[in-house]
């Protein structure tokens, strides 16, 4: 069967779901094709750090009611190295900016609900299998749903289908260059029914490896530890995870870790991935389809939403004002921001993970970088302004 829309969106993650709402607000039609079920998309556990720009955009969309009620606003972050802990106060260093902690899957739930209320079509359990005619004015998405093949004819295709999706792979070889860096460690992340042990996030270097204390609510904590790439969740009984967190998060001021029932456990590899072109013909990539950052710093969701801000504005200019230039400048408008976040995510990752032997030259360089945060307001400000997100994106 053949269907028609103005913008065909592949993927109901934060990128696709935000784009459809922005287009709807401007009176532009879209259809979302999503491979997973609604249930699966809503329960996929990911990070949960929202920059002010991201929160502002969800507010403008009328999608922030629950986020404003349940999101936790943080004005600073704790950074630790070998038990020495310092606090970077965002509000003082960035003129009152901060971050909000709100699980990505909660945001996805809210965005799906609002899309459905506004009657934006989302086809769940529909797999985009082929993109056709992307270099013409009538590109098409072939997709399979309930074993039936459909074709969605569009003016534009937005590839919001993540790293493993088909959009990036549908751009011709030679139309972009890839850059990547694999890290020799992964994160074991848990969600636990337990009151957070800290009022703000703690990123900690320890000789046994990195640990991160994050949170979701007054009764749910989110924590991570650095593990080897070939490690398995089965190797980590709950008690061992808590013991390890306690050792790695300890400081010289008597930090106490609360323990509770772990209800989610998974291992995520760490990688940086980048391409230098987000557009081919009428196909535009946004979010993880075009770039991956390691999660240290929580930039993934914010980058996806910022891409969409530019992309939706460009589509709106095309439909409302007959302007093509913003679409043609989409890549060049986005790349500097994405590279900035790549650098910051890489900086945070290399600063807090165990990579070199304790006491080695590289270890001392890492420690010197950490000490400089304590010594220099300029360095603390650099971290704060990157962490909360630069205002101009
Ligand atoms: N057809 C239809 N849907 C697809 C296909 C396909 N061939 N391939 C992938 N998808 C869907 C996936 O099932 C997923 O729901 O695309 C969606 C992509 O969503 P995300 O992976 O959440 O990507 P994005 O919207 O760019 O959000 C980026 O997610 O991974 C985190 O850290 C990352 O926070 C960042 C955010
Ligand atoms: C999270 O809360 O899941 C989180 C927070 C900060 C990060 C990564 C993950 O850097």
Range of the domain at 171: 2-48+104-179+272-346
CA distance linking residue 161 with residue 378, whole number of Å: 38
pLDDT for 181 equals 97
Mutate which of 34, 129, 161 for ligand 1 pocket (most atoms within 8 A of beta carbon): 161
Ligand 2 within 6 A of CB of 49 = yes
pLDDT for 315 equals 98
Helix (H) or strand (E) holding 358: none
Give SS3 for 194.
coil
> In angstroms, what is the span from residue 132 Cα to ligand 1's centroid?
20
Beta strand pairing status for 126-132 and 279-280? unpaired
Is 60 inside any structural domain?
Answer: no
Rg of the chain over CA atoms, in angstroms?
Answer: 21
> In angstroms, what is the span from residue 44 Cα to ligand 1's centroid?
10
Neighbours of 8 (CB within 10 A): 28
Active site annotation includes 74: yes
Q: CA-CA distances (angstroms) from residue 89 to 55, 374, 384, 393?
A: 19, 12, 7, 22
Which CATH number characterizes residue 172's domain? 3.50.50.60
Is 388 inside any structural domain?
Answer: no
> 24 near 2, Cβ under 8 Å?
no
Where are the alpha helices (H) located in the chain, listed in sequence order?
14-25, 38-43, 52-60, 65-70, 90-93, 104-117, 167-170, 238-249, 300-321, 325-328, 330-352, 361-375, 377-388
Q: pLDDT (tens digit, 9 = 90+) per residue, 129-162? A: 999 999 999 999 999 999 999 999 999 999 999 9
Task: Name the domain count of the chain.
Answer: 1
> In angstroms, what is the span from residue 125 Cα to ligand 1's centroid?
13
What average pLDDT does this structure show over 167-196?
97
Greatest distance between any 2 Cα atoms in the chain: 66
Residues 6+ apart with CB under 8 A from 180: 271, 272, 273, 274
CA distance linking residue 46 with residue 256, whole number of Å: 26
Strands (E), 12-56: 30-33, 49-51
Ligand 2 within 6 A of CB of 211 = no
pLDDT for 392 equals 75
Active site annotation includes 4: no
Q: Is the pLDDT of residue 393 over 90?
A: no
Is 308 inside any structural domain?
Answer: yes
91 burial class (0-12, 13-18, 19+ CB within 10 angstroms)? Answer: middle
User: Phi first, then psi: what are they for 183, rounded to 5°?
Assistant: -100, 150
Mutate which of 14, 49, 301, 349 for ligand 2 pocket (most atoms within 8 A of beta carbon): 49
Q: In what order do the strands lie in the sheet with 72-74?
A: 49-51, 99-101, 72-74
> In angstroms, what is the span from residue 160 Cα to ligand 1's centroid?
6
Is 321 inside any structural domain?
Answer: yes
Is 323 inside any structural domain?
Answer: yes
Q: pLDDT (tens digit, 9 = 90+) per residue, 330-369? A: 999 999 999 999 999 999 999 999 999 999 999 999 999 9
> 392 near 309, Cβ under 8 Å?
no
Mutate which of 45, 203, 222, 293 for ligand 2 pocket (most atoms within 8 A of beta carbon): 222
Cα 52 to chain centroid, rounded: 14
Active site annotation includes 387: yes
Active site annotation includes 269: no
pLDDT for 391 equals 82
Q: Is the pLDDT of residue 304 over 80?
A: yes
For the CA of 104, the closest atom of ligand 2 is: 3
Token pair listed for 349:
């990752």
CA atoms within 13 A on the CB side of 17: 26
Is 140 inside any structural domain?
Answer: yes
Q: pLDDT (tens digit, 9 = 90+) per residue, 25-81? A: 999 999 999 999 999 999 988 889 999 999 999 999 999 999 999 999 999 999 999
Report field, pTM of the whole predicted structure over 0.75 = yes
CA distance linking residue 389 with residue 50, whole number of Å: 9
Helices (H) and strands (E) in the chain, counts: 13, 21
Place of tokens 């165990």: 354
Which ligand has the minimum distance to the alpha carbon of residue 35?
1
The three-point CA angle 17-173-136 to 5° equals: 60
Is 192 inside any structural domain?
Answer: no
Active-site annotation holder among 205, 295, 319, 353: 295
Token pair listed for 80:
């630790």
Active-site annotation holder among 78, 176, 319, 387: 387
Neighbours of 96 (CB within 10 A): 11
């Amino acid at each position: 069967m053949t269907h028609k829309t103005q913008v065909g969106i592949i993927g109901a993650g934060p990128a696709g779901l935000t784009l459809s709402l922005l287009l709807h607000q401007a009176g532009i039609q879209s259809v979302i094709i999503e491979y997973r079920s609604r249930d699966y998309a809503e329960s996929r556990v990911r990070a949960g750090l929202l920059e002010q720009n991201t929160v502002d955009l969800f507010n403008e969309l009328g999608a922030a009611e629950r986020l404003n009620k349940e999101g936790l606003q943080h004005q600073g972050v704790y950074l630790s190295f070998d038990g020495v802990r310092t606090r970077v106060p965002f509000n003082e260093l960035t003129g009152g900016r901060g971050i909000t902690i709100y699980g990505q899957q909660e945001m996805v739930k809210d965005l799906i609900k609002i899309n459905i209320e506004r009657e934006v079509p989302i086809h769940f359990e529909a797999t985009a299998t082929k993109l056709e005619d992307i270099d013409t004015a009538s590109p098409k998405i072939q997709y399979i749903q309930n074993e039936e093949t459909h074709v969605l004819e569009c003016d534009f295709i937005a590839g919001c289908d993540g790293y493993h999706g088909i959009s990036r792979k549908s751009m011709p070889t030679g139309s972009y260059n890839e850059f990547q860096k694999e890290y020799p460690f992964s994160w074991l992340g848990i969600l636990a029914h337990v009151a957070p042990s800290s009022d703000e996030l703690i990123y900690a270097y320890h000789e046994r490896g990195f640990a991160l204390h994050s949170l979701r609510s007054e009764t749910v904590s989110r924590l991570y530890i650095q593990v080897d790439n070939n490690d398995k969740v089965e190797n980590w009984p709950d008690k061992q995870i808590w013991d390890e967190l306690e050792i790695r998060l300890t400081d010289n001021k008597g930090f106490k870790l609360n323990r509770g029932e772990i209800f989610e456990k998974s291992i995520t590899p760490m990688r940086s991935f980048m391409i230098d072109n987000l557009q081919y013909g009428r196909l535009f990539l946004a979010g993880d389809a075009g770039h991956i950052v390691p999660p240290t710093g929580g930039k993934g969701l914010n980058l996806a939403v910022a891409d969409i801000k530019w992309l939706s504005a460009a589509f709106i200019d095309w439909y409302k004002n007959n302007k093509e230039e913003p679409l043609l400048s989409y890549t060049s408008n986005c790349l500097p921001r994405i590279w900035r976040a790549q650098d910051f995510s890489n900086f945070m990752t290399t600063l807090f993970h165990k990579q070199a032997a304790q006491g080695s030259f590289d270890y001392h360089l890492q420690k010197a970088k950490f000490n400089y945060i304590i010594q220099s307001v300029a360095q603390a400000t650099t971290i704060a302004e990157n962490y909360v997100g630069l205002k101009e994106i």
